[in-house]
Amino acid sequence: MTTAVVVFPGTNCEHDVVTAMTDLGGSARLVWHRKTDLDSYDSVVLPGGFAHGDALRTGAIARFSPIMEAVSRFADQGKPVVGICNGFQILCEAGLLPGALIANRDLSFICRYVDVEVTDTGTVLTNAAATGQRLRIPLNSYEGNWVDPTGEGRVVVKYTDDPNGSSERAAAVANDAGNVVGIMPHPERATDPLLGSTDGRAFLRSFLNSLVPA
């Protein structure tokens, strides 16, 4: 029951994720992006940061990192795959989630707490939350504006206001099966009272719940 936390060159939230998950009783280990197998893991987190310097488009280069084939297989097999912030952008570029993330509507880098509302609890990141539950976690991104030309993306968490222009106020989006989820704000940065909020625990608990064998 160990989660692989993938580290690309430029990733910078990997230790936050490992610490937060360990504090909640989970087990997580860092895995370098050049690895090609994830056989000893049962779930994956792509953490935030600036993988490959965000060159070209956020996530555009990272999606071709060797580890991504294994991540893609995990997604196909129904295993939990979560992308946070830059990880969300990578999952969209890889085609594992619908849509794409572009610059915030007002072209500002947003770094503040935001209030979000859980609208769909049928995913690996939201199963421990209640529908309609409001949570306060930090947003920290420039390209957080999710666009979905198909209009069919499954939005599972919404901002209560509209900080960045994201379609349907989407803060988190899932695939149809609910095992792949991308979230733009950072649950792992809201897991200790010292950080100003512990609301992020609801998301990480959901993730840990989803690892329990059926």
Partner 1 sequence: MKIRVEVTRRPEIADPQGTTIKRALHDLGHTDVTEVRVNKVFHLEVEGGSDTEIRDKVEEMCRQLLANPVLEDFEIELVP
Active-site annotation holds for 117: no
Which amino acid, residue 34? Answer: R
Q: Give dist(CA 45, CA 176) in Å, integer.
A: 18
Q: For partner 1, which residue of 57, 136, 168, 197 counts as binding (CB under 8 A)?
A: 57
Are the CB atoms for 28 and 45 separated by under 8 Å?
yes
Q: Hey, which residues does 147 pair with through a beta bridge?
A: 100
In the structure encoding, which two tokens stand for residue 129, read together?
Answer: 């939350």
Binding part of the chain for partner 1, among 90-98, 117-125, 133-141, 177-185 by CB under 8 A, reads 90-98
In the structure encoding, which two tokens stand for residue 110, read together?
Answer: 């947003």
Position 195 contacts partner 1 (CB under 8 A): no
Position 65 contacts partner 1 (CB under 8 A): no
Q: Give dist(CA 214, CA 210) in Å, integer.
A: 9
Report the candidate in 177, 173, 139 with the shortest Cα–Cα distance to residue 158. 173
Report the candidate in 1, 28, 32, 33 with the shortest Cα–Cα distance to residue 15. 28
Position 149 contacts partner 1 (CB under 8 A): yes
Active-site annotation holds for 69: no
How many of the chain's residues bind partner 1 (CB under 8 A)? 20
Residue closer to partner 1, measured from CB, 32 or 64: 64
> SS3 for 59?
coil
Active-site annotation holds for 15: no
> SS3 for 91?
helix
Residue closer to partner 1, measured from CB, 6 or 94: 94
Q: For partner 1, which residue of 24, 30, 60, 211 counts as binding (CB under 8 A)?
A: 60
Position 139 contacts partner 1 (CB under 8 A): no
Position 196 contacts partner 1 (CB under 8 A): no
Q: What residues make contact with partner 1 under the rule CB under 8 A?
A: 56-57, 60-61, 64, 92-93, 98-100, 102-107, 145, 147, 149, 165
State the catalytic residues. Answer: 85, 186, 188
